[in-house]
């Protein structure tokens, strides 16, 4: 596949991204024939609206979400960087760092940094300790309630005051065979979301499109703009 620059007009960039079949998978309601990013429009819009200098993405099959957010940050005059955490447990796609860089650069994603570790391993790193004021966190790793809570708790206190946390595959219980025969499991992130909805500290909104995504922000209203 040819390489495209991050400065390429957005419509052309979307055509290039969705021209890759694997970028149309994994439940984000994408559609190629009309250049539709599906839920990706939300990810892009939040990246543009929040203008974060740092975003975190946990888990991605072939990089759709980190690339969409990276494009949003690159389109902001402030710029920004996406910290992408994926230990490459589904297959070996993220295991060769040189190939990973080339893959992201193919879609103009030079502002993505990949860490081939689990969240449990990442929280013990200097890179984790240095991360503060994160504007956007996207959680899409192992879809158990327990892992979703670990991922959420790991970054909740590092999110900027007006930052947001999104959790994917969060609306329904769905059987998944992504890890291969004999390793099937049930997505039950929705159980963690149900508990989160009972916590008055958080505003929680489910969006039942694609495989479902939940938007979370603190129940704090900022001072009005002047």
In this prediction, residues 183-210 reach a mean pLDDT of 97
The model's pLDDT over 146-164, given as tens digits with 9 standing for 90+, comes to 999 999 999 999 999 999 9
With contact defined as beta carbons under 8 Å apart, do 170 and 214 qualify? yes
To 10 degrees, the CA torsion angle through 172, 145, 215, 126?
A: -150
Q: Rounded to an integer, what distance in angstroms lies between the CA atom of residue 69 and that of residue 80?
A: 10
CATH T-level assignment (fold) for domain 10-218: Rossmann fold (3.40.50)
Structure tokens at 122: 């990442």
Please report, for the chain, the start and end positions of each structural domain, with discontinuous segments joined by +.
10-218
Q: Is the pLDDT of residue 5 over 80?
A: no
Predicted TM-score (pTM) of the model is 0.95
The model's pLDDT over 59-97, given as tens digits with 9 standing for 90+, comes to 999 999 999 999 999 999 999 999 999 999 999 999 999
How many CB atoms are closer than 10 A to CB 31? 11
pLDDT reported for residue 60: 98
**C-alpha distance from residue 20 to each of 2, 93, 99, 169, 222 (Å):** 11, 15, 16, 22, 40
The position carrying tokens 């690339």 is 67
How many CB atoms are closer than 10 A to CB 140? 27
**C-alpha distance from residue 183 to each of 60, 89, 95, 118, 186 (Å):** 18, 12, 20, 18, 10
């Amino acid at each position: 596949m040819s390489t495209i620059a991050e400065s390429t007009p957005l419509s052309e960039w979307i055509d290039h991204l969705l021209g890759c079949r694997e970028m149309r998978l994994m439940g984000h309601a994408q559609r190629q024939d009309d250049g539709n990013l599906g839920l990706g429009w939300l990810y892009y819009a939040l990246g543009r609206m929040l203008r974060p200098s740092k975003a975190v993405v946990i888990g991605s099959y072939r990089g759709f979400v980190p690339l969409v957010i990276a494009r949003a940050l690159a389109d902001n005059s402030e710029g920004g960087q996406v910290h992408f955490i994926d230990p490459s447990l589904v297959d070996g796609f993220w295991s060769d760092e040189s190939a990973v860089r080339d893959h992201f650069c193919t879609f103009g994603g030079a502002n993505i940094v990949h860490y081939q570790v689990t969240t449990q391993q990442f929280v013990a790193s200097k890179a984790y300790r240095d991360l503060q004021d994160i504007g956007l966190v996207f959680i899409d790793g192992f879809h158990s309630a327990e892992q979703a809570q670990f991922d959420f708790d790991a970054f909740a206190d590092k999110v900027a005051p007006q930052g947001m946390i999104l959790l994917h595959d969060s609306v329904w219980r769905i059987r998944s065979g992504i890890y291969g025969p004999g390793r099937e499991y049930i997505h039950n992130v929705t159980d963690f979301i149900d508990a989160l909805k009972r916590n008055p500290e958080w505003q929680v909104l489910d969006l039942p499109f694609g495989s479902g995504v939940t938007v979370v922000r603190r129940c704090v209203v900022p001072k009005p703009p002047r």
